[in-house]
């Protein structure tokens, strides 16, 4: 354990108590250090499972009465903005509690596409990018972040850590970039992750993308602190308090133990069931990312999500224009696609998975099918398969692992890997 990190882990208890969490918070947030200070909490939106509400309320009880301000910004990245009611749900407080007990707390939705809400903090130079990416890229990358951060004496990140398709493990400085950052750096490192491919990146700690994210985080010259959270299913398994880098480092080690499932063989058919928190395909794509490593060649992965009716409120138009394709489809036609948002291209490749593009023909390793409320005509247009969700009975897929059929009831957060992975999945590190 990093000596600069204060933590509590459930261990054999399986779940942290509120008292366990309070002890970490009271130890790391001494009341007198925060008297008359302006504090900004960065929290995730609704698409991450974590006891954010418990931590927020305990932080408020610890320092909320002595601070000049204790406000919240939602790390939306390019996700849709949240209503006040939705933020209250995220914080596990009622609208009445919002009006009364937490009335002085300001809620801020990150505005990634509003130049007036942003501040440039520097540029990662081409030489630095070349070093950080092991020579894959050499280009200047401007770093911009929500300027609201600079109105506060300290920023405190509260968010979970899971295996992640772009950066390796989520959390830490990722709540700054892309959480409260802007598309230019987002587009860069998402495409960097896509070029390396999801199976090679996901569930690995010290990736080139993580190095870029941490470099950008260091350029945000505001005192920062972080509570990195780890859940086991729906239970609170660990809290790690320290710098964004150190807290994330420790939390990712626990996440690696809890959030990776190893399988003996690949599956020819996977029913990947999206939870309601993924309310569009943009986030529902995680149901593919976390399962691609155990999907057999020529197999089929079904994203089962009858509640999903759109690709993306923000990026749907572009996706309908370019479709879902493997990485090489874009790389070998780069002049045609280089001016599209690279983050959207990355999302496209992550959902479609590993494949080749040779002599003008795309050959993807496996089939990806939507069983959603997105119409069949749209699925065909975007290069994905279609199944009528009303005709799918989950029980028909259960108990058939020996036949090569896998059902994942709440997909998107647990990573599945093979004990003996193929070369395209990269090596275990």
SS3 251: helix
- Indicate the pLDDT class of residue 48, thresholds 50, 70 and 90: confident
Q: 272-276, 329-333, 425-429 — which is least confidently predicted?
A: 425-429
Dihedral angle computed from the Cα positions of residues 282, 283, 284 and 287, in that order, rounded to the nearest 10 degrees: 120
CATH 3.40.50.11440 fits 6-258, yes or no: yes
Indicate if the pLDDT at residue 245 is higher than 80: yes
- Indicate the pLDDT class of residue 313, thresholds 50, 70 and 90: very high
Q: 2-6, 72-76, 216-220, 303-307 — which is least confidently predicted?
A: 2-6
Instruction: Name the residue with tokens 């914080």.
Output: 91
Looking only at the bridges linking them, the beta strands covering 267-273 and 405-408 are parallel
CATH architecture of 260-425: Alpha-Beta Complex (3.90)
Mean pLDDT for 370-395 is: 98
Give the per-residue pLDDT at 428.
62
Per CATH, 6-258 and 260-425 having the same topology is answered no
| pLDDT tens profile 56-103 | 999 999 999 999 999 999 999 888 899 999 999 999 999 999 999 999
Give the per-residue pLDDT at 426.
84
Indicate if the pLDDT at residue 1 is higher than 60: no
- CA gap 52, 50 in Å, rounded: 5
Indicate if the pLDDT at residue 2 is higher than 70: no
Give the per-residue pLDDT at 421.
95
DSSP string, 166-219: TTEE--GGGGTTTTTB-HHHHHHHHHHHHHH-HHHHTT-SS-HHHHHHHHHHHT
Give the per-residue pLDDT at 388.
98
Mean pLDDT for 19-33 is: 97
Considering the chain, what is the average pLDDT of its residues?
Answer: 96
Q: Domain boundaries in the chain?
A: 6-258, 260-425
Indicate if the pLDDT at residue 292 is higher than 60: yes
| pLDDT tens profile 116-158 | 999 999 999 999 999 999 999 999 999 999 999 999 999 999 9
Indicate if the pLDDT at residue 11 is higher than 90: no
Mean pLDDT for 163-188 is: 95
């Amino acid at each position: 354990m990093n000596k600069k990190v204060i933590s509590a882990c459930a261990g054999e208890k399986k779940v942290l108590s509120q008292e366990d969490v309070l002890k970490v918070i009271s130890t790391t947030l001494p009341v007198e250090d925060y008297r008359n200070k302006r504090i900004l909490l960065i929290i995730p939106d609704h698409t991450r499972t974590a006891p954010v509400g418990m931590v927020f309320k305990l932080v408020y009880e610890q320092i909320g009465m002595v601070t000049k301000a204790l406000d919240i910004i939602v790390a939306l990245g390019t996700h849709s903005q949240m209503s006040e009611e939705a933020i209250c749900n995220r914080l596990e407080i009622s609208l009445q509690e919002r009006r009364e007990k937490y009335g002085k707390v300001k809620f801020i939705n990150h505005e990634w596409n509003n130049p007036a809400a942003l501040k440039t903090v520097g540029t990662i130079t081409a030489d630095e990018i070349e070093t950080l990416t092991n020579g894959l890229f050499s280009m200047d990358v401007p770093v911009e972040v929500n300027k609201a951060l600079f109105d506060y004496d300290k920023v405190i990140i509260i968010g979970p850590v899971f295996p992640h398709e772009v950066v390796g493990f989520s959390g830490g400085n990722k709540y700054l970039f892309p959480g409260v950052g802007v598309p230019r750096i987002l587009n860069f490192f998402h495409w960097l992750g896509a070029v390396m491919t999801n199976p090679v990146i996901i569930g690995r700690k010290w990736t080139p993308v993580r190095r870029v994210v941490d470099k950008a985080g260091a350029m945000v010259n505001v005192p920062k602190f972080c509570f990195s959270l780890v859940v086991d299913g729906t239970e609170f398994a660990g809290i790690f308090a320290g710098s964004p880098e150190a807290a994330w480092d420790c939390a990712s080690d626990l996440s690696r133990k809890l959030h990776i499932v190893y399988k003996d063989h690949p599956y020819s058919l996977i029913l990947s069931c999206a939870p309601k928190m993924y309310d569009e395909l943009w986030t529902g794509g995680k149901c593919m990312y976390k399962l691609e490593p155990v999907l057999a060649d020529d197999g089929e992965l079904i994203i089962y999500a009858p509640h999903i009716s759109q690709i993306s409120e923000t990026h749907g138009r572009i996706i309908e224009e370019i479709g879902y394709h493997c990485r090489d489809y874009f790389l070998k036609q780069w002049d045609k696609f280089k001016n599209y948002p690279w983050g959207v291209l990355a999302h496209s490749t992550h959902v479609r998975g590993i494949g080749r593009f040779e002599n003008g023909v795309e050959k993807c390793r496996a089939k990806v099918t939507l069983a959603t409320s997105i119409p069949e005509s749209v699925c065909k247009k975007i290069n994905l398969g279609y199944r009528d969700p009303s005709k799918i009975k989950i029980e028909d897929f259960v108990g058939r692992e020996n036949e090569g059929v896998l059902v994942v009831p709440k997909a998107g957060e647990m990573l599945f890997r093979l004990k003996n992975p193929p070369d395209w999945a990269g090596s275990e590190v």
